[in-house]
Amino acid sequence: MATTVSPAQVDPRVTSFLSKPRKMLINGKWVDSVSGKTFPTYDPSTGEVLAQVAEGDHADIDLAVKAARRAFADGSPWRKLTPSERGKLIWKIADLIDAHTEEFAYLESLDNGKPLTIARAADVPLAADLFRYMAGWATKIEGNTIPISVPYTPGAKYLGYTLREPVGVVGQIIPWNFPLLMAAWKLGPALAAGCTVVLKPAEQTPLSVLLLGEVIVEAGIPEGVVNIVPGYGETAGAALAAHPEVDKVAFTGSSEVGRLIVKAAAGNLKKVSLELGGKSPNVVFKDADLDAAIPGAASAIFFNHGQCCCAGSRLYVEKAVYDQVVEGVVKRAQKIKVGPGLDAKSDMGPLVSQEQLNRVCGYLELGLSEGAQAATGGGRVGDKGYFVQPTVLVNAKEDMKVVQEEIFGPVVAAMPFDDPEEIITRANDNVYGLAAGVWTRDISKAHRMAEHLRAGTVWINCYNIFDAALPFGGYKESGWGREMGHEVLENYTETKAVCARL
């Protein structure tokens, strides 16, 4: 394992996992890529190689899709399972995730860079919880009986009803910011609905998803039901999105790539769901509880190093308390200890890659050149690893790119407002509509804001609160469809109408 992290710091099971090239999961077997190629995955704290991973390509995707298609065929072991049996298998995945908490947490920290304490306390438990929630839904996907009236067959009686059926073979492409959790968000509802899956993890962070594959096999999920093909987006991802035997594709990532997914899916008009980017407004009114709003605003942007699609990156503060709020967020930013994820003292780890470091630093340079000022932060930390200072920008204007475009890093633009009525227009003046935050003691004001904000999620006097039962997704260019909650099952089911003359 080529890393500067002391082996004594790493769970020995993780050291063993990283010591040999990782294969891909196709039809219940761990196999090398057809080409024999591998690619490296890196420790973002050092820039050094963690492990080699099988590099999937068009040929591997084709094998995986065919395996998923066989597993979905009538009479297959998966299709013969009752909903209750299917739910028990999904629940077992959750139990095994819990049993392997340390391994998952270490792999998330090493591969993604996030603090081990966060991965252990949030990412892993939330992934297990999602599978348990969806296990319950396996027995509750129901149709309806429908009384129908047919005027052109007077006197005839009919029984009308609907069936909710699995959509079929699903291609799923997930991002690198929450690798394990995003895999759970995708796999849980697909399995609950009875679909089969080909999952492509992000090339930057494949390791925890490959460990999840081992858990899925151990849980007893039949061969071919879940296939995991690591590889690059432009090859494996593109092949999966375009494959004619895939019935539906689900993607989480940037809006730019989301558009490519839509184009690729057009070939066989497969169903598409997208959870895309955001530039979320976080609005603090002067009557807010500032003891809660200030740490809440800081957490809204600095959690997970700002690598959250719903990060509160546009901070609007009513003018009477603007200086106080900015000062408070700046102080909290300055107290954040930036360091390797395995360092127990670290509050914030590195960005995920050199590419992401270049992107965030490029936006910082652009914002400063356009006239914004850094009240704190504003640049890279050190010269090894992909670390960036938590940054608060002031004197930012609405037309600046740092205000309008998704940076996906620990950078917030703080802007004052005078008129509570104007803030709705300003908050909605963006192509994205994923999330928003409102901080006020006036509950009527809070709910009026929630009604008028064009966002899929609105948090009131809190931020970044997630639950498996709470749907998540966006308006506008932030995507199509919803993750989690019972709404997500719409992504993975078809409705069939049946009419019988009596």
Helix-then-strand count for the chain, H and E: 17, 22
Active site residue 85: no
Which residue is catalytic, options 55, 108, 223, 309? Answer: 309
Separation of alpha carbons 350 and 340, rounded Å? 7
Six-digit token pair at 79?
């299709």
**Degrees (nearest 5) of the Cα angle 365, 204, 18?**
135
The values of phi and psi at residue 373, to 5°, are: -125, 145
Six-digit token pair at 170?
């699903």
Which residue is catalytic, options 275, 318, 477, 483? Answer: 275
Q: Please identify which residue in the block is written with the tokens 């993975």.
A: 492
Q: What is the DSSP letter of 244?
A: T
Concatenate the DSSP letters of all residues of 432-490 into one string.
Answer: EESEEEEE-S-HHHHHHHHHHS--SEEEES--S---TTS-B--EETTEES-BSTGGGGG
Six-digit token pair at 393?
């920008």
* Residue from 2, 95, 104 nearest 46 by CA: 2
The values of phi and psi at residue 452, to 5°, are: -95, -15
Q: Please identify which residue in the block is written with the tokens 């995991």.
A: 228
Active site residue 275: yes
Pairing of strands 271-275, 248-252: parallel
148-168 in b/e form (b: 16+ CB < 10 A) is eeeeeeeeeeeeeeeebbbbb
**Degrees (nearest 5) of the Cα angle 141, 269, 65?**
70
Q: What is the DSSP letter of 222?
A: P
Separation of alpha carbons 60 and 48, rounded Å? 27
Asked whether 130 and 145 are in contact (CB, 8 A), the reply is no
Q: Which residues are catalytic?
A: 275, 309
